[in-house]
């Protein structure tokens, strides 16, 4: 059987009363663990402002944005760091490519063939297609009814 709304409301009301009653004890226990009061309940620190640092949501947001911007600037600085330039001649075309060892790009801004995932996928598809076209099973050629 399901619970009625009346019982839910009554339980919520009792929970509110219990929370109100226990909040004082919880506050004392919290202060004791933080070291703001001693065992007898005497306050050691008069002002909570000395211990707690308040920040508004706007300040938190600005700090987060500043941190992200700093990380992005660091990444860009790492990318700008120049690597060694290596010259490689293409055997088929005879074009000289100057590769940067850091970025793996040549002077035209293109990556090497083995680094491009789209090209490797395309070559694999062509290879598989060609193998399927050349594939002839013996039993298909011999035992086809006429």
CA atoms of 138 and 125, how far apart (whole Å): 25
Q: How far apart are CA 133 and CA 57, in angstroms?
A: 65
Please count the CA atoms within 13 angstroms of the CA of 85 that sit on its side-chain side. 6
Domain encompassing residue 111: 83-134
The answer to whether residues 85 and 99 touch, using CB atoms and an 8 Å cutoff, is yes
Q: Is residue 142 part of a domain?
A: no
Calpha distance 97→110 (Å, rounded):
10
Task: Look at residue 12 in the predicted model and tell me its pLDDT.
Answer: 95
In angstroms, rounded to a whole number, what is the distance separating the alpha carbons of residues 128 and 134? Answer: 10
Per-residue pLDDT of the chain (146 residues; tens, 9 = 90+): 567 888 999 999 999 999 999 999 998 888 888 887 887 777 776 666 666 788 899 999 999 999 999 888 888 777 666 678 888 888 888 888 888 887 778 888 887 777 777 777 888 888 888 877 776 666 555 555 55
Percentage helix, strand, coil, to 5, in the chain?
55, 10, 35
Q: 75 with 83: CB under 8 angstroms?
A: no
- Residue 103 inside a domain? The answer is yes
For the chain, how many structural domains are there in total?
Answer: 2
- Give the end of a domain, one of 14, 29, 44: 44
**pTM more than 0.75:** no
**Residues with Cβ < 8 Å from 39, sequence gap 6 or more?**
32
């Amino acid at each position: 059987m399901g619970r009625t709304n009346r019982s839910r409301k009554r339980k919520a009301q009792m929970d509110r009363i219990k929370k109100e009653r226990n909040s004082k004890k919880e506050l004392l226990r919290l202060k004791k663990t933080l070291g703001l009061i001693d065992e007898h309940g005497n306050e050691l620190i008069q002002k909570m402002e000395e211990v707690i640092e308040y920040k508004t949501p706007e300040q938190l947001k600005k700090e987060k944005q500043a941190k992200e911007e700093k990380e992005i600037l660091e990444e860009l600085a790492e990318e700008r760091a120049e690597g060694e330039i290596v010259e490689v001649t293409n055997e088929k075309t005879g074009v000289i490519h100057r590769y940067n060892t850091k970025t793996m790009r040549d002077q035209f801004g293109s990556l090497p063939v083995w680094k491009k995932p789209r090209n490797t996928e395309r070559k694999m598809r062509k290879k598989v297609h060609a193998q399927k076209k050349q594939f002839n099973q013996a039993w298909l050629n011999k035992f086809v009814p006429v």
